[in-house]
Amino acid sequence: MESFRVHILGCGSALPTLKHNPSSQVIEIRGKYFMVDCGEGTQTQLRRSKIKFTRINAVFISHAHGDHCFGLIGMISTFGMLGRTAPLHVYAPSAFRKIMEMQMDFFCNGFEYDVVFHDIDTTVQKIIYEDRSLTIETVPLSHRVPCCGFIFREKPTLPHILRDMADFYKVPVSQFNNIKNGTDWIDEEGNVVPYTRLTRPSGPVRSYAYCSDTRYIPSLYESLKDISVLYHESTYLSEDETMAQMYCHSTAAQAARVAADAGVGTLVLGHYSARYDDEKKLLAEAKNVFSNSILSYEGLIIDV
């Protein structure tokens, strides 16, 4: 099965701590590498993860708060100093473009690669990237500034040939692709062999959703139905729900409620408030609602 992994580079919230870095992740899917958010320290975390800088194809910024984007200009500069030539695509809310262009004009002159900005409308769920093997779509969230999440979804693959059955019916290799695409085989005696007898279904389609800073949205689950792995911010405990409402964040229990309603496979908690020394309390709260919950931490690699 092709690789589909999530590398956690940072899972803290706005206030820096010695324990957690600000938000950043790398999604590795079928040999492509996409970064989601780029807080301070992301370059160092990339080094620690042993992900080559040259592997990053695009960066997706959920919203223009510093703990999600202050590391981007430094990383762009480093890419230039390392001699990058391939374009870097940056997907971000439209207001972010002007900020970045001003910084690049000041700090990033003379580089040999282009930074291509793509404006995101955070108010709609929409596919913003697509290639032969995957799609990436936005998910509207509710925060103090325009904000969205992202769903990474691989496309279905063709069925697999059952080689022993193909040999039994003397199917030439040249016909394998046709059979994978649903064409029945007619043997030497004119008998029709259904393609379903010659193939087995491919594995289930995998998906990963990243829900950045957001207040609890009761209807959010409708956009996340049957996601394989969901990362949902869980900044606060329920005892601090008033603060969560004030700053447009979620509690661990609320994140778990979204996961349970959506029927996801696994919930990953993150974006922890610096007020908590022990995130296990957040995990316990989430598990009371959705048992298949885990904590994110720097260096964690999640196989989707």
Q: Which residues have a catalytic role annotated?
A: 67
Residue at 69: amino acid letter: C
3-state SS track over 106-157: HHCCCCCCCEEEEEECCCCCCEEEECCCEEEEEEECCCCCCCEEEEEEECCC
Q: Report the C-alpha gap between 178 and 175 in whole angstroms.
A: 5
d(CA 224, CA 267): 12
Residue type, 202: S
User: How many CB atoms within 10 Å of residue 76?
Assistant: 22
3, amino acid identity: S
Distance, in Å, from the CA atom of 144 to the CA atom of 248, rounded to the nearest integer, reads 6
